[in-house]
């Protein structure tokens, strides 16, 4: 009993040590080169010309939207490739470098090994998204200030009073960064966390890295269009939406295969639709449930493997 309690007390230290090793491994893959490409793309956006046909009331707003769209698209693409690629490499790379055998021959439960690996991936993913987000916020702030400094003289030439200019200024400021956008980025990170856990699950029973990546990407895209797929099946078979059997099947598939579209709220937030903190909390609980389920199933499969 005392030995079990002692092992439980030291569990956080072992998990964090494994997470740190995983973090360093991923950093050595030079993934931060993505940030350089991201920064260059953002700098290029600053030299795009304004649309001459736009009026004063919408001057530069499309450029702000373009900056946000490019930033979010880069985050989405990087997160997808990183989660699937890096996670699929973890166990095969450890086995190839003999690190896996060194760790498992020590009193380290396989649950802690897998959890440490996941935390390492999540840590680097979070860092990369935060750096990209900071870069986006800074660029948006600079662009908003520049647009306002150009907009005010134009409105003054038209004889607008400070009270009349205020709505236009507020419109430009609202088109920049917002807490709504930040909450959507957190939702994106939660979706990537679920994808990481699912890819790790695939890597525990597949025969190679490429197969794990194919399974991970396939699960993501099927999950993204899960609703449309069921709607198409029901339309093709003539099944009504209230059919209990189809609803049960959809619930079972949703448990086994996450609906990743619920985490993709970037377009909604970018268009100005409110994405509340309570909705984000609900997504966090869903993501936590999926990640715990995938981790437990991965541990069950991984514990049956011989190394």
Is pLDDT of 125 > 80? Answer: yes
Q: How far are the Cα atoms of 24, 125, 162, 280, 290 from residue 285, in angstroms, in the given order?
A: 29, 19, 46, 9, 9
Distance, in Å, from the CA atom of 100 to the CA atom of 307, rounded to the nearest integer, reads 8
Mean pLDDT of the chain: 78
Average pLDDT over residues 87-99: 82
Among 35-49, 140-154, 169-183, 228-242, the range scoring the smallest mean pLDDT is 228-242
Distance, in Å, from the CA atom of 196 to the CA atom of 44, rounded to the nearest integer, reads 32
Average pLDDT over residues 287-296: 92
The pLDDT of residue 177 is: 79
Is pLDDT of 268 > 90? Answer: no
Is pLDDT of 1 > 50? Answer: no
DSSP character for 176? S
Distance, in Å, from the CA atom of 224 to the CA atom of 264, rounded to the nearest integer, reads 9
Is pLDDT of 135 > 80? Answer: yes
The pLDDT of residue 156 is: 78
Let me know: does 118 contact 197? Beta carbons within 8 Å.
yes
The pLDDT of residue 44 is: 67
The pLDDT of residue 287 is: 93
Higher pLDDT, 4 or 136: 136
Average pLDDT over residues 218-239: 70
**pTM of the predicted model as reported, rounded to 2 decimal places:** 0.83
Question: Domain spans of the chain?
Answer: 11-303
The residue assigned the tokens 């920049």 is: 176
Q: What are phi and psi of 115, to 5 degrees?
A: -65, -40
Distance, in Å, from the CA atom of 245 to the CA atom of 253, rounded to the nearest integer, reads 12
The answer for residues whose C-beta is within 8 angstroms of residue 143's C-beta and 6 or more apart is 46, 60, 63, 64, 67, 176
Distance, in Å, from the CA atom of 12 to the CA atom of 275, rounded to the nearest integer, reads 34
């Amino acid at each position: 009993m005392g030995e079990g309690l002692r092992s439980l007390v030291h569990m956080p230290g072992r998990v964090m040590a494994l997470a740190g090793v995983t973090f360093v491994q991923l950093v050595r893959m030079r993934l931060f080169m993505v940030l350089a490409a991201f920064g260059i793309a953002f700098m290029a956006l600053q030299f795009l010309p304004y649309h001459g046909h736009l009026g004063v009331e919408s001057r530069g707003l499309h450029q702000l939207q373009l900056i946000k769209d490019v930033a979010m698209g880069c985050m989405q693409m990087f997160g997808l490739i990183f989660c699937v690629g890096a996670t699929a490499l973890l166990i095969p790379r450890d086995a190839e470098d003999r690190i896996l055998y060194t760790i498992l021959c020590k009193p380290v439960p396989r649950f802690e090994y897998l959890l440490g690996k996941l935390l390492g991936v999540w840590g680097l993913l979070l860092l990369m998204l935060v750096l990209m987000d900071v870069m986006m916020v800074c660029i948006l702030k600079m662009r908003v200030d520049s647009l306002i400094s150009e907009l005010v003289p134009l409105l003054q030439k038209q004889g607008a009073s400070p009270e009349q200019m205020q709505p236009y200024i507020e419109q430009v400021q609202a088109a920049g960064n917002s807490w709504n956008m930040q909450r959507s980025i957190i939702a994106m990170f939660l979706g990537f966390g679920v994808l990481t856990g699912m890819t790790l699950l695939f890597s525990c029973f597949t025969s190679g890295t490429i197969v794990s990546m194919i399974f991970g990407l396939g699960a993501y895209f099927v999950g993204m269009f899960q609703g449309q797929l069921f709607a198409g099946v029901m339309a093709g078979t003539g099944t009504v939406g209230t059919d209990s059997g189809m609803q049960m099947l959809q619930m079972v598939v949703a448990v086994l295969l996450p609906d990743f579209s619920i985490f993709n709220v970037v377009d909604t937030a970018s268009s100005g639709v409110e994405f509340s903190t309570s909705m984000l909390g609900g997504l966090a609980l869903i993501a936590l449930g999926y990640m715990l389920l995938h981790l437990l199933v991965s541990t069950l499969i991984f514990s049956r493997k011989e190394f």
